Amino acid sequence: MFFSPVLAALYTKENQVTKSNTTGALILGISIAIGLSVLGFQLGDAAIKVKQYERSVTVKGLSEREVDADIILWPIEFTVTGNDLEDLYNSTDTNTSKIEVFLVKNGVSPQEITYSSPAITDKSAQQWGNNAKAEFRYTAIQTVTVYSKNIEASRLVMSELSELGKQGIVFTGGNYQSQTEYIYTDLNTVKPEMIEEATRKAREVAEKFAKDSDSKLGKIKKASQGQFSIKPRDKNNPHIKKIRVVSTVEYYLSD
């Protein structure tokens, strides 16, 4: 077959273009493959690092303090019985005055003493119980309250309260309302150092765990602080308080 020089030139040029496109496509394909491989390696390495950072340990740190209460709330409750209402009120006032004099004489400030209104019970008006007639129709319950920061003096007066019993005052102390309370109000002063101690102890436990597991302790992943609790140290010393707080900390671990 006969080809003209012009057609031969065009055919040669077309082959060159085709070869050039094929070579370019091959180079582009190789570049993309290499790029994807590098990207895959980098992503894989990042995934491994993320997985390593997911390793963690959760520990708790405890801080405790023993402190003296700084306020006493001491309700002194007594009863008076009688059949004449006016005499009942007069006897209640007399006993209240005796208690006040006794407290002030033993170091309690008058400003630290308050009085409630007497609660009067008329047994003849009650609808429950048997029909037997009570010996005394009326019963009055009166409360004298000491609210003081001088706990030591107040506790000394408590031990002498039997002197008033010898004067005919009938004290009651079996119900919840008449129980003495000791209060600690200076929690904010010890809070910072207790939180610091609890966190430090938590870290010490975490470091020991990391060492035993051939790991390294990383940064804090999550932390939470429990509520402060204030309770009597024991039932015989309610004026001595035990303060307690627990911090929970989660740390990252790495090899």
- Residue 255 is predicted with a pLDDT of 77
- Residue 66 is predicted with a pLDDT of 96
Query: Residue 31 — pLDDT band, cuts 50, 70, 90?
Result: low
Query: Residue 126 — pLDDT band, cuts 50, 70, 90?
Result: low
Backbone angles phi, psi at 134, to 5 degrees: -70, 150
Asked if the model's pLDDT at residue 47 lies above 50, the reply is: no
Structure tokens at 235: 């039932």
Residue whose pair of structure tokens reads 């765990």 in the numeric block: 209
**Which own/partner pairs from 209-212 qualify as long-range (CB within 8 Å, at least 24 positions apart)?**
209/57, 209/59, 210/57, 210/251, 210/253
3-state helix, strand, coil in the chain (%, to 5): 45, 30, 25
- Residue 2 is predicted with a pLDDT of 43
Cβ(247)–Cβ(200) below 8 Å: no
Query: Residue 254 — pLDDT band, cuts 50, 70, 90?
Result: confident
Most confident range, picked from 45-59, 64-78, 170-184: 64-78
Quick one: CA dihedral 218, 219, 222, 225, positive or negative? positive
- Residue 3 is predicted with a pLDDT of 44
